[in-house]
Structure 1
């Protein structure tokens, strides 16, 4: 049973710096509707769009861009869109999982729960995933605009808001690199 997200407005909102990566062989800056949707929602939520890029469906190119952002202390979160399907060209998951120090399994579970309300059983064709690497959160969303909306509106908007209760990902960011 889904619960309504709760914000504790007595707590301060802490904007996070988010990089958006579109993975596609067919899109460019002029028709990147999923990347545009995500960038707009990030700004509307009060966060900082720290970087944005578009790369081809190529494991090395995806990993290289994400590794650059992981090393950048001015980026807290990376959100990719595209390349999470089942076709031979869908390699985002294979590019990102080796980078993860920890996988956030619950993200995929929640994504599928939410996505099933909009696309039904077709959600099983997505391999949305998430993890942490070098103190940076990494989320991989499918490439459709609807999937981006499901992932942001249903999960990330809330978990990246420092006021969300009972807990959120922002409050543990300072501890991600603890050893």
Structure 2
């Protein structure tokens, strides 16, 4: 598809969310290694507990760290939005027409514990765009509301209106829509 590069809206990872995710995953892995090291010194009555906790949580934290590493690449673009009547959402592997979107939201992956953008289309296909937990919820809702919402089909707009009006985070941040209900 030919896209106008001037109209492209790049959705990039938030610096704050990258730091928060990195602190949790890399820091958690470091703490597990520290616990194992301290446990093998046997200088405390809790040494066996240190070793056990470190050994149990090290694979989990290592898995989360390795899985989230692509989100830390400099200049990373999670996905792009090309607004317009023939607009699309484009990520590395997929391209979805805005008018074909039935539902779009952030969903948590059960295995990685990271949020992903889940898009359901009118032809009942579901697409997932990885965010590596580096996309701020507020930014996601703001960008979708501004650049995707005007080009959604009427049924999808109704679903989005319901989602935005009932979202506690958006209420607490006093989110103002550019496109009214």
Q: TM-score over 0.5 for the alignment?
A: no
Normalising to structure 2: TM-score of the pair? 0.27
**Greater helix content:** 2
